[in-house]
Amino acid sequence: MNPPPKLPVKAEKRRQLFLHKLSGLWVFLVDNAFFGANAITLFTGTPLICAAAFLTSSAGVFLIETLVNRDAKGRAFNKALLAGALSGIPTSLAGTIYGAWVLRMAGLSKKDIPIEEPPIDVQSSTSHDDSTESH
């Protein structure tokens, strides 16, 4: 008797993210780092910090998108401009929301962060050597 024919499995098409999740993480970190420093300087260096955040975020996203995500240079450049513009806004709100949104869309959620658990306590047992005692 012949086995029943197998039905084709429906392939789920996974949506391609706009940005690689490393790019989202980069934007998130750059945005918070630069504007944390801006708050420390009492916002006296805002124009310089905005420019530095724009350049750092743009360069990082461009490299990640071309090297890791294998995007064309024009497409990676457009993504880098958007990420740089959002990171260069003089509050850490836009880049943080954008970076967190990319990470969330990539599937990273709070439940994926490992919880530090105490190590497992393993009791070692010693083997009794009966060959030394002969009764």
CA 98, 17, 23, 52 dihedral sign is: negative
CB 57 within 8 A of CB 33: no
User: Would 84 be classed as within a structural domain?
Assistant: yes
Cα gap 105→126, rounded to integer Å: 52
Backbone angles phi, psi at 125, to 5 degrees: -115, 140
Q: Is the pTM of this model over 0.85?
A: no
User: Would 100 be classed as within a structural domain?
Assistant: yes
CB 53 within 8 A of CB 32: no
User: Would 125 be classed as within a structural domain?
Assistant: no
Cα gap 87→109, rounded to integer Å: 22
CA 96, 102, 108, 110 dihedral sign is: positive
Q: Which residue has the higher pLDDT, 93 or 1?
A: 93
- Say yes or no to pLDDT of 72 above 70: yes
Residue 93's domain comprises 21-109
- Say yes or no to pLDDT of 59 above 60: yes
Question: How many domains in the chain?
Answer: 1
Identify the residue whose tokens are 């994926």: 112
User: Would 116 be classed as within a structural domain?
Assistant: no
User: Would 103 be classed as within a structural domain?
Assistant: yes
Residue 95: pLDDT band with limits 50, 70, 90: confident
